[in-house]
Structure 1
Amino acid sequence: MATVVVQQPLRHSTPPPSPIPSAISVNRRPSPIPTRHLPVCPTGPPPSDAQETPARCTTNDQTSSLLYPADGFVRISSPPAPNIYAIDAETLSSALDHMAAQPLPDPSQMFPWLHGLHPDNHLQLGFFSSRRKSLRRAPKCWRGITVVKMGGDLSKARIKGAVAPNEVISPTSRFLMADPPDGFSVRNFQIQTAKLAAMSDIVVYAEDQASKSELLALAEDFAMAQQAWRMKNDPMQERPPYNTFVVTSSFHHIEKKRPQLVAITADGQLTGRVMDFSQWERLEMCSMSRASEISKNVWLGPTPDYMLRPGDCEKPEIDPYDLMIEASDLASIPGPRFLATVDAKLEKGPQRIDFPSSGSIVLPSGNTREVEDLVATIRWIYYLAHPEPHEVADRDGDIAMTHPGKKPRRIFIHCADGYTESSLLAVAYFMFAEGVPAHEAWLRLHCQKGRNFFAYPTDVAFLSHVQSRLLQESPTNHNIDTSEIWDPNWFLKMDGSLPSRILPYLYLGNLNHANNPDLLRELGIRRVLSIGEPVSWTEETRDKWGKENLMYIDNVQDNGIDPLWQEIDKCLEFLEHDKKEGKATLVHCRVGVSRSASICIAEVMKTKRLSFPHAYYELLQWEENQMKKRGPLKRELEWPTVAREIALLNKPYSRS
């Protein structure tokens, strides 16, 4: 059982920060996607009997379903073919509504089986079930409904939650063996739809013009797969059988009479009645990082849709920016002659250039030419935005950095999400334009300008190294003594990222953030909620913060087994106190992407009165409890759909 305890200091010290190399170079390798460069996150010890929590429900009885028993349905297959039944739109709608109102099985019954326990994957098996081989067996408590569209084109005529046949069944009429045969993961969302389909009633349907005989043949394939699965996994027939159904109603009828079932219309239009995760992610990302002015005439934000998806979105009639600088993995630092060419073209209309993305400038090398080009580029941007007369030129005299009599140019620094690739250039420019050292630029951009940004440790080292040059040449700080510039301890310990501000009083972060209390104070954070990972603070620091401002949720390892949902209410009570006191709280685990993120999502759900759109199984279960307090239970999405959508969102960032 997870418990809430006061954190005790650990008897080990934090390692000193790595020294900053004295030489730098620009490496032309693409910068990695941030999720591939999360801090190393050991999963903690394997689950043991001592850590197990009594299940909320110890029965293995299957969830109630309107599709079982199938006695009341008309059989449409002929012997010796397997049983296949007809179902109309109205009955399907009722069955899905009924399933959404049934309690989810307890996580202890579903995991670790859902993580993937391939018989040849000894690493995964050894971690999860070395002591209890019974954990490898498919749980008896699940009975779902999997809707399958014949043909697999889900871009049109899609029923809510529908999947393509090849997502769950093989050409040999067997359910897919989705468990990874090697590797280790406790976040195998991509396998869970297929695994759960084998323990579901299958409902197949097709577009109105499709062949009825082909639809019946597909249904027979699924019925055969159900028989084969039962012979292998339930030879004693201890669980009720699963059945296959064919939708007899036309899709036109479904659209007209049961529109709540339709995610995408027959002509490919999103209905808005069913959430589209990818679209929502894009909208949320753009909202979170919408363009804002970070310095006079210089904006930072996401790449406009008309550039990301040419042809899908119309370009605005009037371009709001004179120069658009896209941070790109494949870009090189512009040279002075190239900038001179762009400078001349600005008289004819808006221009676009590329700049290296965050993480693409690495250390060390003795080549400083590229560093000079970088500083010159930042200087050029500044004098485009501030065309007042200045007697400044680059060191080689190739182009003049003055624009007397010209109008100020509006510059837009952008990347796809508005912060990941563009952070290096944005911070460097802010240092030059505002005349502030790196650490102050970090804080002012975040706290005063309200910008979120992502920087790599190499970016921190680079900006620390180059800040003297930038400040010496900054037009706003002529008298600065660069010999007195020093980096505070919190900046030297920083990995490049700041905790993510979720709400004004709520930050989400990792263990590195939590172990940097001086950084937290600079951000106005005064309380820390640790989920499964204690901070390594001195007793003096604990006393300074006040132990009442620290909470540690113990025995919640990131192993996919330890229950978290039972602790959510305690965590939210701790956050409630923060809101009343006007204090900001950091919620963290080790990496800040699973356990602590679940707590933050729960707080947002509670505060904003939002339903569960995307998170983990235990949050879905916690939402059930909240719904029961308000009235009848009805989930908006079922777990297989959630897992599938999460896997699709993560696919661009997964390792190849």
Structure 2
Amino acid sequence: MTAAQFAKVHAQYNALDVPHSVVFPFLHGVDGDNVAQNTFFRAPLSGQPAPNYRGLTVVRADLPTPAQQAQMMKQHQQEQRRRNDCVMVETASFFTPPQNPGVNLRNFKIQAAKYATISDIVIYCPFGIHEGAVTLAKWFREAQETCWENRLERKLGGLRYNVFVVTEAFDAFEQFPHLIAIDRHGVPHDRVDFVDREREEMQRLTTATAIDDNVWLGCSADVPLIRANPNGFSICIECHDAADVPDSNKLQHASQFLDAYDSLPARSEGKGFDGDGPSDLVHLECSSVSGLTEEAQFAKAASDILNLCAWIKAQAQPPKAALTTSTQAAVPSKRLPHRVLLHCGDGYTETSILALAYLMYARGLSLPEAYLDLQERAKRSFFVYARDVAFLKKLEHSAPSNVDLMGPPSRALTPTPASVRAAQSAAAATKEATASHAWFTNPRFEGAFPSRILPFLYLGNLNHALNPAMLHALGITHVVSVGESALHPPAASAAAQAGRISVLDLKNVSDDGIDPLRSTMRVAVEYIESARRSGGKVLVHCRVGVSRSTTIVLAYVMAHLDMTLVESYLLVRSRRLSILIQPHLLFFWELRGWETFVASQKAKRQQALREHSAMTSDGQVAAIDCSLEAKKRAQPTLPPRQLTNKPVGASCGFAASQQQDDAFDLDVDIGQGAGSPYGFGVANVADRAFGSGSPSGIKADALRLNWGFLCREIAALNERYF
């Protein structure tokens, strides 16, 4: 096989949209070795018959180093002697990866080996064809024959597969840039490192922004480097579990250092944040105060945190003209503000309690108000564990009317709205204020909001959906329930019936590795798009918010942002915060098919534009509306109220063929939000090929990964957390 032939075969493979029923439950690993797995998926205990499917697996055969060559020759000599002494010679066979006992819907680790047994194999070496590559090809051929004979013996059927060897060296592949992952100089090219991209996505989401005057919240990557301090931070406070809350001595020493720095001519002249390097920064560590359980711990930690909040406010927002009685020349008579950065490793977990405490203290807010202020006004994503809500309530109720600062008298705080509010009697709270925060006292509130994936799209769990007051507080107007209805409890049902919330209730979708989502995917995606066009906000949920609902969100993100599955997955994964998204194997297979469908939809619209341009007499392209409103569908589009009561599942989706459903145009403005999460726009997005929203600029066909390779990358990424 030449490089050109391989490129053609690879393109044909990428264009396939194979229904899940062709390869599942086979890919779940129902070989008969795991009785529980076979029983759950109703596969014969002797093993699932091999699918009538031909995949593609590429194997890179590197040339051995001299040391490896010597070792191989030694082993070859030993093997030859062993074969001479034996009557029976073993043949090559495919590796059978071990499975964990019990039922597993996410067998990503076994997919590369499993998928190879139903694939044509392509052997490639950067140096071209040589004896070693041919030998490796022969071994794979032997393994295929062994697998074929084993399946015949067990009456499992299946196809016979081929082994190809690429005859050309790396130079020939340079004509096909989308196939090159690393160029001739060893530089990565058109590839995504899953670990690096996940880290970049998290840093981009949590990059430092202001939550109050001169108080910023961010991740540890925002801490100034050796010679750069673009945000002009003076104080960096890192929150983590192993630290303690700074005591009065540390705060006093920090104040003295800042006073001395303020006395320098450059500062005393009022230049303010001049972007100096971090050598003059104050670095403090603070406990995340997470997981406290005892009342005694609550009291001390609350006192320490509030004292720190008072110190931060005094540093960030000193009185404009403060008089001092100090005789020390180092203490200026006019205080200058210091910009403070609160940061932690991920930018949204360990800093959450301190950030909320500071907003309560500095802005005079109640705890529910601080939640909404940080989420809505400051536009920060944050995560609070349910176990920490009790401590936050203690902080709210312990806010003193006067905090004794451990610094020079000139840094004492003037009365703030927070101190005035804390001094007031609890009886002064109005019934209206209490009712407005009913979401916070709702037993279903678990300490964290649903994850904001896009400005109008949230991903959460069932408890989020069953808290209509919280949905209202966040401005959420539409709900997509995937397999777990949000209409049953009286409050949620009443909100839907009153028209305050529109609910798309997708029924008969279990997270069991058996029920598909492809037939419901389109309905949900078009529903979300309709909500976006009307200016609404949407919550997509299932029971936990990691599999079914995540699959729907991924499908929408691919279309709205014009991004591939790989990049959409890494974006959504990072924005789900402390919840690890885990669509199972079958859903990922369907998402790969959906990616192909969205790409084909965009190509179809581009072809229509070209044809219309050719038919236009003056050569100008008129605007074409490719939505369903402009093209009559075979069945009428249901309004939101009817969609709300339309069950999608066994009764109205699975019975229809996927091909018939895909024949209709997708009612989504593909690429409407391309580039928006990354701060750039895509001009003429309708004229660009699918994948134009990629932050890395990598073409979509370069990120259409082989199934086995994709699963291997996901498994490696998940291993960092399990």
- State TM-score, norm by structure 1: 0.73
Give SS of 1:479's match.
helix
Q: 1:211 to 1:539 in 2, by over 3 A?
A: closer
| Separation in 1, partners of 2:308, 2:63 | 53
Between 1:183-192 and 1:338-347, the stretch displaced more is 338-347
Question: Partner residue of 1:195?
Answer: 114
Which amino acid is the alignment partner of residue 378 of structure 2?
A: K
Question: Partner residue of 1:303?
Answer: 220
Which amino acid is the alignment partner of residue 543 of structure 2?
A: R
Q: 1:532 to 1:642 in 2, by over 3 A?
A: same
Residue 233 of structure 2, aligned match among 293, 300, 321: 321
Q: 1:573 to 1:250 in 2, by over 3 A?
A: closer
Quote the offset at 1:382 in angstroms.
Answer: 1.9
Number of corresponding residues = 530
Question: Partner residue of 2:30?
Answer: 117
Question: Partner residue of 1:336?
Answer: 248
| Separation in 2, partners of 1:242, 1:314 | 57
Give SS of 2:57's match.
strand
- Residue by residue over 1:457-509, the C-alpha shift from the partner in whole angstroms, topping out at 9 and shown as x without a partner, is 12211101221223645833232226346794321331111112233332211
Give SS of 2:283's match.
strand
Question: Partner residue of 1:498?
Answer: 449
Which amino acid is the alignment partner of residue 283 of structure 1?
A: E
Q: Is the 8 A contact 1:468 1:482 kept in 2?
A: no
Quote the offset at 1:518 in angstroms.
Answer: 0.8
Q: Is the 8 A contact 2:352 2:383 kept in 1?
A: yes
Q: 1:192 to 1:455 in 2, by over 3 A?
A: same
Question: Partner residue of 1:258?
Answer: 176
Question: Partner residue of 2:383?
Answer: 454
Identity %: 33
State how 1:283-298 maps to structure 2 within 5 Å.
Answer: 283-298=200-215
Q: Is the 8 A contact 1:387 1:405 kept in 2?
A: no
State how 1:38-117 maps to structure 2 within 5 Å.
Answer: 87-104=1-18, 106-117=19-30
Q: 1:317 to 1:477 in 2, by over 3 A?
A: closer
Quote the offset at 1:540 in angstroms.
Answer: 5.7
Which amino acid is the alignment partner of residue 230 of structure 1?
A: W
> Does structure 1 residue 408 correspond to structure 2 residue 320?
no
- Residue by residue over 1:215-268, the C-alpha shift from the partner in whole angstroms, topping out at 9 and shown as x without a partner, is 4444444333333322323446944422333333222443x3332211122433
Give SS of 1:369's match.
helix
> Does structure 1 residue 441 correspond to structure 2 residue 441?
no
Quote the offset at 1:211 in angstroms.
Answer: 11
Which amino acid is the alignment partner of residue 183 of structure 2?
A: T
Q: 1:226 to 1:439 in 2, by over 3 A?
A: same
Quote the offset at 1:200 in angstroms.
Answer: 1.7
> Does structure 1 residue 578 correspond to structure 2 residue 531?
yes
> Does structure 1 residue 363 correspond to structure 2 residue 293?
yes
| Separation in 1, partners of 2:227, 2:94 | 46
Q: 1:152 to 1:611 in 2, by over 3 A?
A: farther
Residue 127 of structure 1, aligned match among 19, 36, 40: 40
Which amino acid is the alignment partner of residue 351 of structure 1?
A: V
Q: 1:183 to 1:326 in 2, by over 3 A?
A: farther
State how 1:634-649 maps to structure 2 within 5 Å.
Answer: 636-649=704-717
Q: 1:477 to 1:267 in 2, by over 3 A?
A: same
Residue 624 of structure 1, aligned match among 576, 596, 606: 596
Give SS of 1:249's match.
coil
Residue 419 of structure 2, aligned match among 462, 478, 481: 478
Quote the offset at 1:151 in angstroms.
Answer: 7.7
Aligned-pair RMSD on alpha carbons? Answer: 3.4
Give SS of 1:194's match.
helix
Q: 1:117 to 1:377 in 2, by over 3 A?
A: farther
| Separation in 1, partners of 2:257, 2:143 | 65
For structure 2, the residue ranges without an aligned partner over 5 or more in a row are 66-89, 262-278, 323-330, 404-415, 570-587, 605-689, 691-699
Quote the offset at 1:96 in angstroms.
Answer: 0.9
Q: 1:96 to 1:362 in 2, by over 3 A?
A: same
Q: 1:418 to 1:482 in 2, by over 3 A?
A: farther
| Separation in 2, partners of 1:592, 1:152 | 47
For structure 1, the residue ranges without an aligned partner over 5 or more in a row are 1-86, 154-170, 308-312, 392-401
Quote the offset at 1:136 in angstroms.
Answer: 3.0
| Separation in 1, partners of 2:400, 2:551 | 42
Question: Partner residue of 1:432?
Answer: 361
Which amino acid is the alignment partner of residue 353 of structure 1?
A: L
Residue 140 of structure 1, aligned match among 45, 52, 55: 52
Q: 1:589 to 1:540 in 2, by over 3 A?
A: closer
Identify which of structures 1 and 2 has the higher relative contact order when contacts are C-alpha pairs closer than 8 Å and 6+ apart: 1
Which amino acid is the alignment partner of residue 706 of structure 2?
A: E
Q: 1:645 to 1:287 in 2, by over 3 A?
A: same
Quote the offset at 1:98 in angstroms.
Answer: 1.9
- Residue by residue over 1:410-447, the C-alpha shift from the partner in whole angstroms, topping out at 9 and shown as x without a partner, is 11112233213322222122211211111111011111
Question: Partner residue of 2:671?
Answer: none
Residue 520 of structure 2, aligned match among 567, 581, 599: 567
Q: 1:259 to 1:470 in 2, by over 3 A?
A: same
Which amino acid is the alignment partner of residue 308 of structure 2?
A: T
Which amino acid is the alignment partner of residue 350 of structure 1?
A: L
Quote the offset at 1:212 in angstroms.
Answer: 4.6
Give SS of 1:316's match.
coil
Give SS of 1:354's match.
strand
- Residue by residue over 1:384-419, the C-alpha shift from the partner in whole angstroms, topping out at 9 and shown as x without a partner, is 21233899xxxxxxxxxx996332111111223321
> Does structure 1 residue 546 correspond to structure 2 residue 497?
yes
Quote the offset at 1:341 in angstroms.
Answer: 3.5
Q: Is the 8 A contact 2:557 2:563 kept in 1?
A: yes
Between 1:478-487 and 1:563-572, the stretch displaced more is 478-487
Q: 1:142 to 1:459 in 2, by over 3 A?
A: farther
| Separation in 2, partners of 1:305, 1:204 | 45
